Chain A
């Protein structure tokens, strides 16, 4: 059950990308996403593809994992392509059969949109593949810190995220245990149509939720007993530290963003 979850899957490697500060990686991703939507020509996309390829090679992550992360979105990507192919009008007619028509502009937009989606997913999944969840939440917390002044609870959000990540495997294990226990009592999780299947999940979900609340209560008590009092006055063992290469990468990606903005 655990192997099915690709979102947030982290693969440990000793690479340049892995060693970068998570804050820098998040910023680079944001820059990259902006350029994806700025660029509007095939030569530009060729450049983006090259950029992704270089990052993948630097990260020492197998291309297989990147493709795996795109797979769940195949439906959305092909749907976008087909809708644009047949719906967007403009330019010469390329292909025609009875009422179906593909025009030049449709083909162009369809390809652009699906390429954008593929770039977006593959690049953001590179972030989670090369950054441990803990580093990611730390990075987000410190990036959101300036917004605390306008009332955004940065520390609390990061704490919630890391606790959620911590309890995913625990709750999955528990779900499996409850499922077995209910099956032993004659519960049927597999047969019937979709509605019946959804209904049969109730005896699984109710105890799972009740237990989750009990866990939350215990955890809050344990955190309080260990002097937890929110983000104020709290220090970190592995504090995030920017080094030279982080600044270089940030500067380079900034140059990249500006040049894309100017030339395209």
Chain B
């Protein structure tokens, strides 16, 4: 059975408003790395908030591990299983010491203090921030704050991590550190990841890409499938990753290159072996 199961989901914020999400059918399997891309107003952030019951479907159903988010009795269990990281790093840290903030989630679950301590140390280690555990969050960089937020969610031992544009407010370096942290968690812990972004570059390593447009799922497939549909992607106001774009242009001008080049290293190697 899939971890997240979305069936015929419709959503609008009020009964007279426009539909923000329409006919969304999705499944996310355990251990999968799914990237949801879409430009502004495509409904991707709304979809994210539905995954842990912050918003409830107007029509249709979302099931996490077989439990519907519509049933209020499930809500705390679902929120523990689906951890969520938001866009603004400043507005999701609650305590003024890093380790206290990471402890916030497990404290809400009512765990024993020894157990919380273990989880906090473990989570900070997983995101590579253990040396900052006594620091104040406002002295850290955006990327570091975002990694603390990820640790705060990890400490609740979720089954799935939903990240709603976690890199949108970061500088390139911070972006890189957050992305590599997410990728590492997916690989080493087998954590299911749903990463929502509007940067195509961040979708390269995904198992599956879902392109949202106007509240619907417009495209779905592996990075290779999606990036091949250049014209459709352009239509949804999205760009190919730069390297893929370059490879495509080189292909057009007559170089003999394969279709699935999304990474700089691979392109460099292929170009060097060409002559």
Which chain A residues have a beta carbon within 8 Å of chain B's beta carbons? 133-134, 162-163, 165-166, 169-170, 173, 214-215, 218-219, 221-229, 233-239
- A219-B92, A229-B108 given; 4 more Cβ-contact pairs under 8 Å: A134-B96, A215-B90, A226-B152, A237-B116
Selected contact of B110 from candidates A219, A225, A235, CB within 8 Å = A235
**Complex A-B, nearest 5 residue pairs according to Cβ-Cβ distance, in ascending order:** A218-B91, A222-B92, A237-B103, A237-B116, A227-B108
| CB <8 Å contact, A234 and B76 | no
Is A225 touching B52 in the complex (CB atoms < 8 A)?
yes
**Contact between chains at B93 and A235 (CB < 8 Å):** no
* Other-chain residue from B93, B99, B149 in contact with A166 (beta carbon distance below 8 A): B93
Q: Which residues of B contact A (CB under 8 A)?
A: 49, 52, 54, 76, 79-80, 83-84, 86, 88, 90-97, 99-100, 103-113, 116-117, 120, 136-138, 149, 152-153, 156
Across the interface, do B138 and A239 meet the contact criterion of CB distance under 8 Å? no
- Which chain A positions have C-beta within 8 A of B109? 227, 235
When distances are taken between beta carbons in the complex, the residues of chain B under 8 Å from A170 are 90, 138
What separation, in Å, do the CA atoms of A218 and B79 have in the docked complex? 16
Q: Give Cα distance in the complex from A162 to B152, angstroms.
A: 17
In the complex, what residue of chain A is closest to B99 when comparing beta carbons?
A237
B105 CB contact (under 8 Å) in A163, A165, A226, A239: A226
| Complex CA–CA separation, A229 to B104 (angstroms) | 12
Nearest CB of chain B from residue A95's CB, rounded to whole Å? 53
Collect the chain B residues with CB atoms within 8 Å of residue A218's CB: 86, 88, 91-92
- Bound CA span A166–B150, Å: 19
Q: A221-B54, A227-B76 are in contact. Are A235 and B112 (CB under 8 A)?
A: yes
User: Residue of A at shortest CB range from B82?
Assistant: A225
Are B103 and A166 in contact (CB-based, < 8 A)? no
- Pairwise interchain contact A238-B94, C-beta atoms closer than 8 A: no
Selected contact of B96 from candidates A133, A173, A233, CB within 8 Å:
A133
What residues of A have a CB within 8 angstroms of the CB of B137 in the complex? 166
B95 touches A228 (CB 8 A): no
* Cα of A112 to Cα of B30 in the assembled complex, Å: 73
- Residues of chain A lying within 8 A (CB to CB) of residue B86: 218, 221-222, 225
B80 touches which of A162, A227, A236 (Cβ 8 Å): A227
Q: Which of A133, A225, A236 has the most CB of B within 10 A?
A: A225
Residues of B within 8 A of A163 (CB): 94
| B contact residues around A226 at 8 Å (CB) | 79, 83, 104-105, 108, 152-153, 156
- Smallest CB–CB gap between B54 and chain A, Å? 6
Taking a contact as CB atoms under 8 Å apart, the answer to whether B136 and A236 are in contact is no
When distances are taken between beta carbons in the complex, the residues of chain A under 8 Å from B105 are: 226-227
